[in-house]
Chains A and B, each alone.
Chain A
Amino acid sequence: MAVARQSLYRSRRLKLQLFRGVTFLLAAVFFLVPIIAMLEFSTRGNHNERTLEYWQSIFSYPDLFDFNFGPAPSAAIDASLELALVTSLAMLVLLVPTMVWVRLKLRRLSRILEFVCLLPLTIPAIVLVVGLFPMYIWLGTNVSDSILTLAFAYVVLVLPYCYRALDAGLGAIDVKTLSEAARSLGASWFSVMWRIIVPNISNAILNATLLSVALVLGEYTIANNLLYNNLQVELVHLERANAGVSIAVAVAALLFAFVLLIAISLVGGRPRRMRSEAITSFGTGPVQGSAG
């Protein structure tokens, strides 16, 4: 009896493992084949020989990369990296305090906040451009014509994704009780935010950052239509002149995104692993509203 059941379990486990393996393999093929094809294409010369010519020439296009990071980057890669940074920071500064405040003091506004934040998801980028165009003309003549002004539009663009990520993080902790406890212990609102809320939603903040970085690095429509040269726009330009280099840059951008992803998740993962099981049941304690 017991033996039969054990063998049943074993065959079930085997089946499950097989299923997992096959799924993983299919997913890997799906993702890797195009990348390998791109790698292959970007390392093949005109006479079908192996060459790193295209890869080496990435740095010889000043429109693409010129290691001139500053308030007005002239090269596309520099601009996209700076935009990713500025957008992520602006998004966090805007969204985290607002969402916490709404949870604490203005619960009735939470539906409206959610609606506003998710709105950009329903508006196609091209429609957004139509609305943004006059504003950017004004911005270009009165404030700055730096490509970094795109960050305004990008913050709007990343809002829905980051809102969702942060909302999940805030939902996992009892924001109200934790901040009231901190307040009663003498913490200012800044301390409540910085010492209590942020450390407890650090993973959500990382996720939101990751999403916004990935989105900004891959953005084409708005930049192109507002006549700015970010990475994706430059790649399209380049493709017409030199497809090999264009593909090489695309692969490089992908690899960069992977590295960033892994780096961010390592940074986010480390403190948790150090605390072992302490954190695994994070925020699962019974949470009750106060009555009476």
Chain B
Amino acid sequence: MSQRQGVEVRLENLVRRYGPVTALDGLTLTIAPGELVALLGPSGCGKTTALRLLAGLEEADGGQITVGGKDITGLPANKRNIGMVFQAYSLFPHMVAWENVAFGLQMRRVGADERKKRALEVLELVGLGRMANRYASQMSGGQQQRVALARALAIRPQVLLLDEPLSALDAKVRSRLRDEIRRVQLEVGITTLFVTHDQEEALAIADRVGVMQSGKLEQLGPPTLVYSRPATPFVADFVGLTNRIPGEVKFGGVEVRGSQLPLVQKDVPTGPAIALVRPEAVTITGSADGDSGPLVGTVIAVAFLGAISRVTVDLGDLTVLAQLPTSAAGDHPAGSRVRLALRPDPVLVDRHE
């Protein structure tokens, strides 16, 4: 399994401004040796900026970066020993795959024979040994990104940075390469920072997920925790799907359309609030022809997602997403009246509309 031989990476109070825009607003993040942390967030949340500061491709306006206990804040990119895979295809077009992989070794003055040998080894590690003599233009996008990964790993970096490496690929290649990256990362045991806007990717691959907004870290934790116990309404909204249902906070819980749900947050003042309810906490209990009630509505769409289906139900004053096994969803086609129930999972409430 994982050898965990990487080094610790520490970002402390990092600040980066672009003119009047603050891209990073005091980001503090510690990545344990050999850990894979994914930074997740919408465009412009500062996740790529954080990665570029760590890589040395941009300079911080404040804060400190330490790798393995050594302060590298002022070090130029070419002296940092950090491997990086880019979003855009970044293979050098005038070199074949193994030459690309050997480039970093050449810059480190490794001898020609040793260079080629090591390049081929790393290409083998990413499963592309037979592509060693291909140019970038002769490879698919997925293969190019795998060579880029090999190139980043060949220099035996202390840290691996992945800047949305999968976003230019199609869905099937993406999930395969995602698992491949994780396998290689565990095999090498390298400390890794992975930046993505795709929550599925982040949740699937990372040891811990950091959700960012407006240059700040909103929550950092294991994927299951970030999903099931979002720390803030933003995280709840951004990670996974969420129903925003108006209710009222009272008796230490929140009353939503006649159901009393426990609260995640403590010390929420009583009064009206929006409860954030996951679709999987909404179930269809049965047909409700001619019936009425706060949780009775009309099915307006059924989205088939394989084993599960997502059903959109119109409750009159709002629409709610429910998630149920596809076998059960078949009983409730669009147009039918159904009765919903809310599972009493702890929920977050948002006081802003």
Chain A positions within 8 Å of B, measured between CB atoms, are 173-174, 177-178, 180-188, 191, 195-196, 199-200, 275, 277-292
Contacts and interface: CB of A to CB of B under 8 A. Distances in A.
B94 A184 contact: no
Contact of A292 (B107, B141, B161, B197): B197
B90 A279 contact: no
B135 A177 contact: no
Contacts of A281: 137
A178 B92 contact: yes
Interface string B103-119: 11001100000000000
A174 B88 contact: yes
A186 B56 CA distance: 11
Of residues B89, B134, B195, which shows the largest number of chain A Cβ atoms within 10 Å of its Cβ? B89
B168 A279 contact: no
A101 to B, nearest CB: 15
Contact of B155 (A174, A186, A282, A283): A186
Contacts of B52: 290
Interface stretch (B75-83, B257-265, B299-307): B75-83
A285 to B, nearest CB: 4
A292 B48 contact: yes
Interface of B: 41, 43-49, 52, 55-57, 76-84, 86-90, 92-94, 103-104, 107-108, 134-138, 141, 144, 148, 151-152, 155, 161, 163-164, 167-168, 195, 197
Nearest first, the 9 closest Cβ-Cβ pairs linking A and B are A185-B104, A292-B48, A278-B135, A186-B107, A183-B77, A181-B90, A285-B89, A184-B84, A199-B94
Contacts of A187: 78, 103, 107
A283 B144 CA distance: 13
A278 B45 CA distance: 38
Contacts of A279: 93-94, 135, 137
Contacts of A182: 92, 103
21 contacts: A173-B93, A181-B148, A183-B76, A183-B78, A186-B78, A187-B103, A188-B78, A195-B103, A199-B94, A278-B137, A280-B137, A281-B137, A282-B137, A285-B137, A287-B88, A288-B167, A290-B163, A291-B197, A292-B49, A292-B164, A292-B195
**Interface residue SS majority, chain A:** loop
Nearest to A285: B89
Contact of B90 (A178, A277, A278, A291): A178
A184 B164 contact: no
Nearest to B23: A292
Contacts of B46: 292
B17 to A, nearest CB: 16
A197 to B, nearest CB: 10
Contacts of A199: 94
Contact of A196 (B92, B138, B148): B92
Contacts of A177: 86, 88-90
A280 B135 CA distance: 11
Contacts of B80: 184
B93 A185 contact: no
Of residues B78, B81, B83, B168, which shows the largest number of chain A Cβ atoms within 10 Å of its Cβ? B78
Given A174-B90, A286-B88, A292-B48, A185 B197 contact: no
Nearest to B86: A177
Given A181-B92, A185-B107, A291-B197, 7 more contacts: A180-B90, A185-B151, A188-B78, A285-B88, A285-B89, A292-B45, A292-B47
B93 A184 contact: no
A195 to B, nearest CB: 8
Contact of A181 (B84, B137, B195): B84
A292 B43 contact: yes
Contacts of A188: 78, 107
A188 B41 CA distance: 33
B168 A180 contact: no
B92 A285 contact: no
B87 A288 contact: yes
A285 B144 contact: yes
Contacts of B86: 177, 180-181, 290
A290 B93 contact: no
A149 B172 CA distance: 62
Contacts of B89: 174, 177, 285-287
Contacts of B41: 292
B47 A191 contact: no
A277 B93 CA distance: 12
A52 B318 CA distance: 98
Contacts of A196: 92
A284 B84 contact: no
A278 B92 CA distance: 12
Of residues B78, B79, B80, B93, which shows the largest number of chain A Cβ atoms within 10 Å of its Cβ? B93
Contacts of A200: 92-94
A285 B142 CA distance: 12
A19 B226 CA distance: 69
Contacts of A173: 93
